[in-house]
Chain A
Amino acid sequence: MYGWIWRHLPGNAWVRALISLLLALAIVYALFQYVFPWAEPLLPFNDVTVDNGLPAGSAMTEWR
């Protein structure tokens, strides 16, 4: 997979390395900016309040 990408990048080894680095940075940016903020509430690592386990939006303005 990565070998395939490497072979399809243009230029010599240095240009390819630079493009790879930029691609990696773009992916990290997308993860931090969009993917992780979306995934975080779905994962059970960061609930800090006590609640009575009612489903969200049960006639409450702000649950939790």
Chain B
Amino acid sequence: MRGRIAATVSVIGELLITAGVIMALFVVYSLWWTNVLADREAERQGNQVRETWAKSPSGPGALDTKDGIGFLHVPAMKNGEVLVKAGTGSKVLNEGVAGFYREPVKAGMPWDKQGNFTLAAHRDGHGAKFHNIDKVRKGDAVVFETRDVWYVYKVYADLKQTSRYNVDVLDSVPKESGKTVPGRFLTLTTCTPVYTSDYRYIVWAELTRTEKVDAKRTPPTELR
């Protein structure tokens, strides 16, 4: 009898230890392994986009959105370039890219006369492309690179914590950022606080100028 109780207790103990180890492994998977996979995938797709651009450096085809429409550069986030693709489903975002919204509010495109170019990306894991969003300050530059044009934005407002259901931040004129007249805006959204997704972190920027891409793809001064 005593032997059976002891055996049962020891099996329960081993199961608890196993559960702990599996949870630790899940953390390793979430915060490290998904980054490895996503960064690999994002680099492959980014190279593909650059190759396509190199093949047809001018004329139509610049807005081919299948592989990605361009690259986002946010010097304050210190994460290099982020490929931007259509859609914000987890399949897209898990490739280590930023996605522009198609639901619930369709994003405006940078080349539109007015609108809000709304983007989402992961804060942790899967490339963690917006991990350092809290390092972005008012006045910082956000540059979006397409085949032909550099779109230079300047950050003018942020929302450090908002409800996950606050879709108003995606409006073409985002009132919460203090804007009341249409313009050419850019919105970054991700989850906050880090390692969780209870709330959303929002950064708004406004277009200040555009620059034609030259033959050597010289980046604008903000990126040098």
Residues of A within 8 A of B (CB): 1-3, 28, 31-32, 36, 39-41, 44-54, 60-64
Q: Count B-side interface residues using an 8 Å CB cutoff.
A: 42
Query: B residues within 8 A CB of A2?
Result: 14
Give the distance in Å from the alpha carbon of A41 to the alpha carbon of B14 in the complex. 28
Query: In the complex, what's the smallest C-beta–C-beta distance from A7 to chain B, in angstroms?
Result: 13
> Complex Cα distance A46/B11, Å?
33
Q: CA A17 – CA B93 in complex, angstroms?
A: 41
- Please indicate the chain B residues that have their CB under 8 angstroms from the CB of A53 in the complex: 165
- In the complex, which residue of chain A has the Cβ closest to the Cβ of B25? A31
Q: Residues of B contacting A41 with CB < 8 Å?
A: 90
Known: A49-B88, A51-B103. A28 touches B25 (CB 8 A): yes
**Cβ A46 vs Cβ B165 within 8 A:** no
Task: From A1, A31, A45, A62, give the contact of B89 (CB < 8 A).
Answer: A62
Min CB gap A57→B, angstroms: 11
**Nearest CB on B from A24, distance (A):** 10
